[in-house]
Chains A and B, each alone.
Chain A
Amino acid sequence: MTNWVMVAAGAFESACLTAGRALALMGATTTALGHVRRRRVEIVSQTFRASYGSLLVTFLTALFSGMILAFQTGLELLRFGQEASIGYIVAASMCREMGPVMTAIALAGLMGSSYAAELGTMKVSEEIDALEVMSIDPVRYLVMPRVVALVASSLALTVYVDAVGILGGAMVGASSFNVELSIYFRNAQDVLEMKEVWLGLIKAFFFAVSTATIGCTMGLSADQGAEGVGRATQKTVVFSFVFILMLDHLINYLTKVTGIYVGRGV
């Protein structure tokens, strides 16, 4: 009994500690944004790494997401003879939900984990200590460029994923439901509103900030050698996934209660 309480208390304490560290790191990163210009080379190379390195994975996930969406909604719409609306449904779902979420999940798996592994390895091999002793702030030098790069990549990739997903939907619409491409795209264009795209990008921003912060926090608090680095990486992926979905729901909810609800309310 007491044992159980102790374990729960311990877990709660370490969760609070980690949350505190993550918030502190986020604050420090914000302060470090003043050094963006000095770090531009690093930022560009990190952005290239995060976006170029994720092009193939995100292409495949986006294409199939769009195809699956088109197929499932197509089956339902067929019953009402509304399959021409596939275009809008796919476009709106991609822009509002699937695009940012799929991109964020891919980036958490690809980049968040590697941030944790890199910084964790640097931590356990005393490289972070070495930076500090040289009066080089690890947040400015390592964390800030990664956060900025992940945000930039996430925004760009989200647009790309939206587009690929819509294309995937068009392929399924044309092949399985006989919706002509021109009708599919006109429908998508006519009904989709710009603010739905923006909503997706706002999500992408928060997802990227959370993934990068989690990855860097876990990396910087890694200890106990290779095993610690492994744990940091693992936790990053798990926490990022959970946070992405929680944030997604929170943002959706906020758009509704604040009255900037996007969609037609059908």
Chain B
Amino acid sequence: MLDAAYNRSQTVETDQGKAAGTEAAPIIEIDDLAKRFGSKEVLTGLRLSIRRGETICIIGESGTGKSVTLKHIVGLLRPDRGTVRIGGVDIFAADGQLQEIRKKIGFLFQGAALLNSMTVFDNVALPLREHERPPEAELRKRVLETLELVDMAEAADKMPAELSGGMKKRAGLARAIIRQPEIILYDEPTAGLDPVISSTINDLILNLQEKLGVTSIVVTHDMSSTFRVADRIAMLYQGKIYKSGTPDEFRKSEDPLIRQFIYGESEGPLRRDNH
């Protein structure tokens, strides 16, 4: 059964590849990405292209390599094989270019990764202070506005250690979007948030896309969030993109693997090999 599903994925993937070719030119192209840690193969030839202005959700089991994939896209990890192109530039070949490319990318870490030695305000202000150096009054205004977007303005003067997990997430999100990047990578933006805040964050993701034309990659386990924000969904399985398609295609899919994942069923092909 697993094999049947696996074979199908190959055809789905190539169909998708053809479809993508006819659309707008991709802003991010990941080709044949492979990465292992020690003896553990995490990515095994991942291929994905992302069009300018689209929001793509990457879903998949815990531990399949979603965060690892995102880290390759910003050059924090180097692949054993394969390339990542952003705006046509190979980020691993170009020395010096990576710095410039990163200035156009916002990245929300799964664990927020706030600098613990400074307040929320200073954390969010950091990218501005380092790259744009606006006058103090303007800086304050922009930081507080951005914190307002994630409903964190009151916590501006708190230290990260005083925040809950969800608050850290939101502060990290504010830091990721403050310079209005062209591309935003979200690693589980709604994990650990209550439903109300989650929906605020979903709206924020949609807003950024509509108003600023941001290209977003959202890694998430939260299926309601996925169906809310995604233009396209890509499912990561065993180190490759198992299937990518529109939310509707996913919802209607008969594939047991996909059904199991999006409907959260405990019976099915997932985890059979682990347990």
Contacts and interface: CB of A to CB of B under 8 A. Distances in A.
To the question of whether A and B form a pair in one complex, the answer is yes
A172 to B, nearest CB: 44
Interface string A130-141: 111111100001
Contacts, number: 45
A49 to B, nearest CB: 12
A122 B76 CA distance: 15
B191 to A, nearest CB: 15
B126 A125 contact: no
A127 B115 contact: yes
A131 B76 CA distance: 11
Given A122-B116, A135-B131, 11 more contacts: A127-B113, A130-B113, A131-B115, A133-B76, A133-B102, A133-B105, A133-B107, A135-B99, A135-B102, A136-B127, A141-B130
Interface residues of B, number: 20
Contacts of B107: 130, 133
Interface of B, secondary structure class, is mixed
B74 interface: yes
Contacts of A131: 115
Interface string B31-50: 00000000000000000000
Interface of B: 71, 74, 76, 99-100, 102-103, 105, 107, 109, 111, 113-116, 126-127, 130-131, 175
Contacts of B127: 134, 136
Interface residues of A, number: 14
A125 B105 CA distance: 20
A62 B126 CA distance: 41
Contacts of B103: 135
Nearest to B185: A133
Interface string A243-266: 000000000000000000000000
